[in-house]
Amino acid sequence: MAYTIQGKTQEWEVVVGLEVHAQVTSKAKLFSGASAAYGGAPNSQVSLVDAAMPGVLPVINSYCIEQAVRTGLGLRAKINEDSVFERKNYFYPDLPQGYQISQYQKPIVGEGVVMLDMEDGTRREIGIERLHMEQDAGKSMHDQAPSSSYIDLNRSGICLMEIVSKPDMRSSGEAGAFLRKLRSIMRYLGTCDGNMEEGSMRADVNVSVRPLGSSRYLTRTETKNVNSVRFVMQAIEFESNRQTVAYENGDSVIQETRLFDSQCSETRAMRAKEFAHDYRYFPDPDLLPLKLSSSFIQKIQDGLPELPDEKRDRFMEDYELKAYDAGILVADQEVANYFEDIAIDHDPKLSANWIITNLFSVLKKLGCNIVESPISASDLGELIGLVEDNTISGRTAKEVFDTMIDTGKSASDIVDEKGLKQISDISQIDTIIKQVLTDNPKQLAQVKAGNAKVIGWFVGQVMKATKGKANPEIVNKLLREKIK
Ligand code: MN
């Protein structure tokens, strides 16, 4: 799925790399015992370490280490048994230490891979460069008082994983698919809840363009802290078009940090100075190098759940689903469970279809997720069963489905109450067919003269006479027999 921009003189290829900050799911912060919960009153979750009081020392939270290793294994990445925490020095009002404890030369996780299933059935492999651990900073609040800024240190010291991709993405669509896949993997693992609106996942978006066919990377820009998948995609669209126009007009692209303005879907230059940082990294003397034993890593590996890719392969194998459909069902663990609850007793393709086309649009309309679905898996399974045993037609089933949502009643109750049972009784249908044929001698003559199209018209008449309840397959078969 190559994505290019047609310029005046040539075609341009888009090159995207992402740096994702993902908040580790953990009760406590990375180097202190303070709570990492979201939404507490400002400065209610701050230890002396988080406030960087003199003389206090960080103590590493081993659960956070486990979570980072688990994520690395989920990304099929190399886990480094030796890694080092370093100080990244810079001043920021909401960073009381004056430095961020991060990893630089020796991150905990090395190269890995994320697999994307694109809509056209193709598969794309996006490389992971590294995953390192670091602490989050606090938050400056500029809207609390007219002439002063306040600082909330609740976030200060929370454990983040910075996951850096290779510049392997070639369109905004691939970047969106990458973020959704990464989020899905971390949710399966329980290592990051992926709630972008709460800031627990945000992305720095690196974009450049180059003439199609070139293997050289041109100057990139970095759009910082984009907090939704849609915004990331919009930022890429905007940036790639802006850069293409610049090159085509004979201008250059400046390497700089940019901001995304979600109001106008544009990126804007921040001060160019921001890019010229020299952080003066050095190993944090308060923390020993981190050494992991291979048994520690193996134990985490052994405890990994079935991940989205494995589940997708199993769904394709066991239920004969197409890759893309299987990919949609496994993206959310709860959806996958819902599907399997139905597919164990019913036709898997029919079940997948009902979930993806009918149920999803209802959930979207109601703004709820599958766990909050007004129709349970067993309720939907019952409806699908009625289609499978020919009690109702597929078309009637849609009507029953809508009524289920509106009334909360079961499929079989609705079918009984509304008298929607399909007529599959041959003698009953036969009688109606005879009547319809007798009533329409002109059309009958046309069929007999070889006009096959008119058979379809007769099917329609029979369906009309039965208010759509006759089994269309039986009607078709009997009609053809009769006319012969
Ligand atoms: Mn970072």
Residue 418 is predicted with a pLDDT of 86
Confidence of residue 363 (pLDDT cuts 50, 70, 90): very high
**What mean pLDDT is predicted for residues 160-182?**
97
Choose the final residue of a domain: 365, 398, 418. 418
Query: Quick one: 295 and 334 in the same domain?
Result: no
Q: Which residues of 297-332 are buried (b: 16+ CB within 10 A; e: fewer)?
A: beebeeeeeebbbebbebbeeebebebbbbbbbbbb
Query: Quick one: 210 and 351 in the same domain?
Result: no
Query: Quick one: 295 and 310 in the same domain?
Result: no
User: Model confidence over 286-313: pLDDT tens digits?
Assistant: 999 999 999 999 999 999 999 999 999 9
Confidence of residue 100 (pLDDT cuts 50, 70, 90): very high
pLDDT at 3 over 80: no
Query: Quick one: 205 and 273 in the same domain?
Result: yes
pLDDT at 46 over 70: yes
Query: Quick one: 90 and 54 in the same domain?
Result: yes
pLDDT at 366 over 70: yes
In whole angstroms, what is the distance from residue 257 CA to residue 223 CA? 6
Residue 42: which domain range? 4-300
Query: Quick one: 121 and 194 in the same domain?
Result: yes
Choose the final residue of a domain: 418, 443, 459. 418
Please, is 162 exposed, middle or buried when counting C-beta atoms within 10 Å of its C-beta (0-12, 13-18, 19+)?
A: middle
**What mean pLDDT is predicted for residues 326-331?**
95
pLDDT at 272 over 70: no
What's the mean per-residue pLDDT of the chain?
Answer: 93
Query: Quick one: 274 and 408 in the same domain?
Result: no
Query: How many angstroms does the Cα of residue 162 sit away from the middle of ligand 1?
Result: 6
User: Model confidence over 435-480: pLDDT tens digits?
Assistant: 999 999 998 888 888 888 888 898 889 888 888 888 888 888 888 8
Query: How many angstroms does the Cα of residue 290 sit away from the middle of ligand 1?
Result: 19
Query: Quick one: 30 and 151 in the same domain?
Result: yes
In whole angstroms, what is the distance from residue 321 CA to residue 352 CA? 8
In whole angstroms, what is the distance from residue 481 CA to residue 205 CA? 66
Query: Quick one: 121 and 47 in the same domain?
Result: yes
pLDDT at 284 over 70: yes
Query: Quick one: 268 and 311 in the same domain?
Result: no
Query: Quick one: 224 and 356 in the same domain?
Result: no
Choose the final residue of a domain: 373, 391, 418. 418
Identify whether the C-beta of residue 155 lies closer than 8 Å to the C-beta of residue 36. Answer: no
Residue 1 is predicted with a pLDDT of 42
**What mean pLDDT is predicted for residues 17-41?**
96
Taking the CA atoms of 397, 398, 400 and 404 in sequence, report the sign of the dihedral they define.
positive
Tally of structural domains, the chain: 3
Residues with CB under 5 A from ligand 1 (ion): 162
Residue 271 is predicted with a pLDDT of 66
Query: How many angstroms does the Cα of residue 21 sit away from the middle of ligand 1?
Result: 7
Query: How many angstroms does the Cα of residue 22 sit away from the middle of ligand 1?
Result: 10
Strand pairing partners for 423?
470
Residue 479 sits in a domain whose CATH number is 1.10.10.410
Strand pairing partners for 99?
89
**What mean pLDDT is predicted for residues 87-104?**
94
Query: How many angstroms does the Cα of residue 104 sit away from the middle of ligand 1?
Result: 10
Query: How many angstroms does the Cα of residue 61 sit away from the middle of ligand 1?
Result: 19
In whole angstroms, what is the distance from residue 481 CA to residue 421 CA? 24
**What mean pLDDT is predicted for residues 47-53?**
96
Residue 425 is predicted with a pLDDT of 80
The pTM assigned to this predicted structure is 0.88
Query: Quick one: 430 and 392 in the same domain?
Result: no
Residue 273 is predicted with a pLDDT of 53
Query: How many angstroms does the Cα of residue 406 sit away from the middle of ligand 1?
Result: 48
